[in-house]
Amino acid sequence: MATLNRILKIFTHEGAPASRIDALAQLERSVMSCLLWEAEFYEGGQAIGRRIADLVKQVPAEDVARVAIRAKEDMRLRQVPLLLARELMRTKEGRAVAKDVLPRVIVRPDDITEFLAIYWKDEKDEPLAKQVKRHVGESFRKFDEYQLAKYNGGRKAVTLRDAIRITRPKPKDEAQATLWKRLVKGELATPDTWEVELSKGGDKKASWQRLLAEGKLGGLAMLRNLRNMTQAGVDAESIRQGLRELKVGRLLPINFIAAARHNSKFEPELEAKYFECFAGRGTLKEETIILVDVSGSMDQPLSGKSEMRRLDVACSLAMIGREMFESLRVFTFSTDLVEAPARRGFALRDAIVGSQPHGGTALGRALQALPKRDRLIVITDEQSHDPAPQLKGYLINVASHKNGVGYGSWVHIDGWSDKVLDYIATYEANAAG
């Protein structure tokens, strides 16, 4: 009988005993580093999506709403907050919080079409809930003609034309009513975007130069097209000037690392903008150690569609840490424990990546060998092959894998936007107060 009543042990994918956590913690773990439907190193995208949907059923609707909003606004994830909103619609309690969730997770016109595609992913003939019609319809009211036209193209399961016909929103004035009629008729003015300009098939160099001169490239478009501009023959100084004028806005640290991967000659400008993202932030005192996982699984892409790796995410967070902590030492672990040189910016990234071979995941052994410190931060996908001792510290999980080791006495943080380090400052301020 004792054997039957024993709670089954759970393990990481590498075999270390994992921590058992409640449904809300599992949901946060699965959501905050998730690129929805895209496979990771150990798990398929569909499996992660199903796990998230199942967990929503076990968590109070108010908590699911909070997770969805945080995933959108702090972690800057696009699709998984829409999945959470859709799963909330399956219950009376969930539909009751729709008025708070949908307006905050629908921030672009294509969020509307993506949400409806997710809504009908499993049941194409399911009628829209009354609350969905109202709140999704109302979201149309915040978009102007340029925004609607920009996101109205491409082959999609649900179009903006479909969405406006189904939800039948009430316009705020006659001008908006006319705009929506033109959307339905396909008569919106063609937006002046880089995608439209380049699709005309003209002189690419001239097109890029005009877009640069007129400031028509958004931050992410600028970073993603550096190589295209160079290949088109745009002079380097024009590109550098465009980078100097770049508005960092909602850009993530990893966006700069991605841009630098294929555009090393622009690293000085990219690095300057990277530092600008964190200018003016207060620093935290006391000696801090950041321990970065450089094992083989961290060296894999974020998803099947991405060139960026979990290790790139970890490097970007360590780079932020260099600016945030007054006294910081950075170590890496794989099979061994190695201290990285005291560099900053892209030089710190290079030091971390080249610190040792990317092999095993001996997290427990590395933690035991670390020198004394006041604050410990571990950045990992948690797939250790040896047990992690329960130390006082923060463990930042940068993957959506089902089981992990960083619970118990650890302060566990899921996700990989720059906000995860801000959380540490807030946590310590609240503890002190």
pLDDT at 404: 54
CB atoms within 10 A of CB 187: 10
Could you read off the pLDDT of 306-347 as tens digits, one per residue?
788 889 989 999 999 998 999 999 999 999 999 999 999 999
Predicted pLDDT at 234: 96
DSSP 21: -
- Positive or negative, the CA dihedral 406, 407, 409, 412 is positive
The mean-pLDDT minimum among 26-40, 92-106, 178-192 falls in 26-40
Report the Cα 70 to chain-centroid distance in Å.
11
Given this model, what pLDDT does residue 41 score?
A: 41
Q: Which of 238-242, 243-247, 250-254 is predicted with the least confidence, judged by mean pLDDT?
A: 250-254
207/381: higher pLDDT: 207
Cα 226-322-414 angle, rounded to 5 deg: 80
Minimum mean pLDDT range among 79-93, 233-247, 371-385: 371-385
Given a cut of 50, whether residue 6 has pLDDT beyond it is no
Report whether pLDDT(305) > 80: no
Tens of pLDDT, residues 40-59: 443 445 677 788 888 899 99
Q: Which tens digit of pLDDT belongs to each residue from 172-199?
A: 999 999 999 999 999 999 888 888 888 8
Least confident of 6-10, 394-398, 414-418: 6-10
Q: Residue 42: what pLDDT?
A: 38
Structure tokens at 214: 């007129």
Position 389 scores a pLDDT of 67
**Over residues 86-111, mean pLDDT:** 92
What is the residue-wise DSSP string for 191-232? P--HHHHHHT-S-HHHHHHHHHHTT---HHHHHHTHHHHHHH
Two tokens at 11? 């393990």
**Better pLDDT: 258 or 2:** 258
Per-residue pLDDT, averaged over 357-378, amounts to: 93
- In this prediction, residue 275 carries a pLDDT of 87
> Two tokens at 180?
């929506």
Instruction: Give the whole-angstrom CA distance, residue 286 versus residue 319.
Output: 18
Nearest to 273 by CA among 262, 284, 257, 285: 257
Instruction: Please choose, from the candidates 246, 224, 249, 253, the residue with its C-alpha nearest in 3D space to the C-alpha of residue 348.
Output: 253
Strand, coil or helix: what is 330?
A: strand
**Tokens of residue 231, six digits:** 């290949």
Separation of alpha carbons 354 and 352, rounded Å: 6
**In the predicted model, is pLDDT for residue 409 greater than 60?**
yes
**Predicted confidence band of residue 425 (pLDDT cuts 50, 70, 90):** confident
- 271 neighbors 278 (Cβ within 8 angstroms): no
Pair 376, 392: CB distance under 8 Å: yes
pLDDT at 13 over 50: no
pLDDT value at 249 more than 80? no
CA 433 from centroid of its chain's CA atoms: 30
CA dist 25 and 17 (Å) reads 17
What distance in Å separates the CA atoms of residue 36 and residue 48, rounded to the nearest whole number?
8
- What sign does the CA torsion over 254, 255, 260, 266 have? negative
Residue 405: its pLDDT value, please? 56
Q: Is the dihedral of CA 423, 428, 431, 433 positive or negative?
A: negative
Task: Give residue 7's pLDDT.
Answer: 41
Which helix (H) or strand (E) segment holds residue 412: the answer is: strand 410-414
| Model confidence band, residue 354 (pLDDT cutoffs 50, 70, 90) | very high
- Taking residues 397-426, report their average pLDDT: 71
What per-residue string of b and e applies to 310-330 under the rule 16 or more CB within 10 Å gives b?
Answer: bbbbbbbbbbbbbbbbeebbb
Cα torsion 60, 66, 70, 71 to 10°: value is 40
Region 289-311: what's the mean pLDDT?
87
If pLDDT is split at 50, 70 and 90, which confidence band does 423 have?
confident
Q: d(Cα 265, Cα 235) in Å, to the nearest integer?
A: 12
Query: Is-contact 373 287, C-beta < 8 A?
Result: yes
Calculate mean pLDDT across residues 132-146. 92
Mean pLDDT throughout 136-161?
Answer: 89
In the predicted structure, residue 406 carries a pLDDT above the cut 70? no
Q: Is residue 29 over pLDDT 80? A: no
SS3 395: strand
DSSP string covering 147-203, please?
A: HHHHTS-S--SS-HHHHHHHH-PPPSSHHHHHHHHHHHHT-PPPP--HHHHHHT-S-
- What confidence score (pLDDT) does residue 105 get? 95
Q: What is the pLDDT of the chain when averaged over all its residues?
A: 84
**Distance (Å, whole) CA 356 – CA 335:** 9
Higher pLDDT, 229 or 194: 229
Alpha carbon of 181 to those of 174, 178, 251: distances in Å? 11, 5, 34
CB 106 within 8 A of CB 115: yes
- CA pair distance 72, 227, nearest whole angstrom: 29
Residues counted in the chain: 433
> Whole-model pTM?
0.75
Identify the band that residue 3 occupies on the pLDDT scale cut at 50, 70 and 90.
Answer: very low
E strands, 196-324, in order: 284-293
Nearest to 17 by CA among 377, 391, 288, 406: 406
Q: What is the pLDDT of residues 105-131, one digit of tens each?
A: 999 999 999 999 999 887 777 888 888
348 and 322 in contact (C-beta within 8 Å)? Answer: yes
* CA distance linking residue 53 with residue 270, whole number of Å: 38
The amino acid at residue 405 is: V
